[in-house]
């Protein structure tokens, strides 16, 4: 079974600064996907970024980028130029290919962006 670990329950950052959220995972699979989801107080889970394990290039989406280290089973999220609207719970998630495609989530990191 896959496990996803987010070792930082809470983090805070000043507006306009950069913050990195950590995620490690454990799997014996070679083909899989990794995701970061954001859940603001509205409760809506929003996809932030997606990484295919077979791709060496790190995924980026505007101010969001990942550092994917497959050998180390690490998948951190970097948020640049943090904005107040980035305040949310962030979940790292794993999906095995050719299975039931369910997401296995970490426990989450609560990020607070301070003005």
**Binding of another protein at residue 30 (CB under 8 A)?**
no
Number of residues that bind another protein (CB under 8 A): 22
Please, what is the Cα angle at 77 between 45 and 88, to 5 degrees?
35
Distance of CA 77 to the CA centre of its chain: 5
**Smallest separation (angstroms) from another protein to the CB of 26:** 16
**Binding of another protein at residue 35 (CB under 8 A)?**
yes
Please give the Cα distance from 34 to 21 (Å, whole number). 14
**Smallest separation (angstroms) from another protein to the CB of 24:** 16
Among 28, 42, 56, 57, binds another protein (CB under 8 A): 42
């Amino acid at each position: 079974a896959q496990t996803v670990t987010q070792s930082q329950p809470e983090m805070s950052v000043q507006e306009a600064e950069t913050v990195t959220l950590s995620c490690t995972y454990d799997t014996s699979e070679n083909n899989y996907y990794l995701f970061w989801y954001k859940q603001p107080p509205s409760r809506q889970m929003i996809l932030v970024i997606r990484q295919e394990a077979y791709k060496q290039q790190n995924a980026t989406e505007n101010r969001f980028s990942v550092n994917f280290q497959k050998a180390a089973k690490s998948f951190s999220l970097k948020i640049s130029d943090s904005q107040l609207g980035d305040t949310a719970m962030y979940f790292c998630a794993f999906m095995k290919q050719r299975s039931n495609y369910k997401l296995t989530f970490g426990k989450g990191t609560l990020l607070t962006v301070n003005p």
